[in-house]
Amino acid sequence: MQKKLFKRLFLVLLLVLGFCIQFDVIAEAKRDVVIVIDPGHGGTNMGARHNGVIEKEATMKVAIAMKEELEKYKGVVVYLTRNGDDSMELLERAEFARDVKADIVLSLHFNMSEAHDLHGSEMWISSTGGLKQEAEKFATIEQMLLKEYGIEKRGCFTRLNDLGTDYYGIIRESANFQIPAVIVEHCYLDRPEEYAFYDTDAALDRLGRIDATAVAMAYRLSSEELGVDYSRHYVSNTKLPDNLLKEDITAPETVNLQIVDFDENNNQMKLHLSVSEAESTMTYYQYSFNGGKTFSDKIPFYTEKEIDFSTSAYPTANSGFMVRAYNAYGLYTDSEIYDLNLVLFDIKEPAIRGDFMVPGFITDVLDEIEAFAEELPPEVKTAATAVLIIGSVFGLITMITLFIQNRSKHKISEDFQSKAKGA
């Protein structure tokens, strides 16, 4: 009898315990998500300034719009680290997030580059496992939405200091309190193609609402007022590969360049570029016609590993054509060098005249003119030489024009490819 009583009591205790655990889980699941929005800079810290915009003011406008939009969702509490033009230390901001029991800190910023040649959105997150995964969940969605809006993504990065901890203060200080943080660099102030994303209050308001939507998707929130429900939103790719726990310190493994086609009617060269880069994304490439002495402006590569592009090509004194490709950390690798004089124009033994590359037969003509002029009397040498050179130049121009008009467009053969690479 006593054994049965003990069994019944034991079962009752198990049921009560199970109910309590279930109640705690439900209560925890229903806890409001706490979001801390950190408008970057403030007070004497102006941040970047360009195009009539001051970063500390722009981040404040975005933060206010983001908070207003986010508070239209259920199950979320939103705070700002600063509500006015206040100077705040990074530790203060992290301590504020700790005091309100934040689930994540989102530090809003705008970017600039020293050479004014970069653009797109960047996300910087912690290198610490669990914090990194939580921060990257938001960052992935944020960049997806910004790309849909028209801002290309440069990527989501980590960076370490000399002590092996997170480089950026707001990320490092928040990590000390076990709070994930994301630095959101919306776009570059110094790029004309991105002016429209920030140069009006309406544009800044739009960025704030995009930021709020990314939070709602990441934390599966819903809003009756907005008529949206992200409670079943699937957050893909929420875990970075292990090799991205630390920043990439190696350049791309290989950069392969191929000349695909050359149209002699308009001197347009078509090329295919492919890059092998295992630890990072690709961001930019630039090309050189003189073996790397000077380069074109940087051209967006973004996350793709292959790209096709075109450029004009002419015979020159320094005909070494090459491409330099950059990964997300600014490290680069150069392609092989193509001798365009040999590959495209069949100039095998050229001679240099000033800044131009000319075929051997033209050099022979010029040498003959010089030799002939030397035998003339001094009083007519200058005038005769000028007449001969001008006549020869006009004759050569006529010949080249007729030659080009009668040449048809052709495809570069595999023999040309192998010959160029071995040149």
Chain segment 25-75, per-residue pLDDT in tens: 444 446 899 999 999 999 999 999 999 999 999 999 999 999 999 999 999
Instruction: Give the whole-angstrom CA distance, residue 332 versus residue 22.
Output: 54
Q: Supply the DSSP string of 135-166, one letter for each residue.
A: HHHHHHHHHHHHHHHT--EEEEE--B-TTSSB
- Sequence-separated (6 or more) residues with CB below 8 Å from residue 236: 140
The phi, psi pair for 153, rounded to 5°, reads: -100, 130
Fold of domain 31-244? Aminopeptidase (3.40.630)
Domain coordinates in residue numbering, the chain:
1-26, 31-244, 248-423
What is the CA 49 to chain-centroid distance, rounded? Answer: 21
The CATH H-level (homologous superfamily) assignment of domain 248-423 is Immunoglobulins (2.60.40.10)
SS (H, E, C) 377-398: CHHHHHHHHHHHHHHHHHHHHH
The predicted structure's pLDDT at residue 32: 95
Task: Tell me if 143 sits within 8 A of 67, measured CB to CB.
Answer: no
Least confident of 72-86, 364-378, 394-408, 409-423: 409-423
Residue from 69, 381, 355 nearest 204 by CA? 69
Residue 108 burial (C-beta neighbours within 10 Å; 0-12, 13-18, 19+): buried
pTM over 0.85: no
pLDDT digits (tens, 9 = 90+) for 265-285: 899 999 999 999 887 777 789
Tokens 């003011």 -> residue: 57
Q: What is the mean pLDDT of residues 218-242?
A: 76
pLDDT category of residue 4 using cuts at 50, 70 and 90: low
Residue type present at position 51: N
Instruction: Give the whole-angstrom CA distance, residue 185 versus residue 195.
Output: 14
What letter does residue 370 receive in the DSSP assignment?
H
Question: Terminus-to-terminus CA distance in the chain, angstroms?
Answer: 99
Element (H, E) at 269: strand 268-276
pLDDT category of residue 299 using cuts at 50, 70 and 90: confident
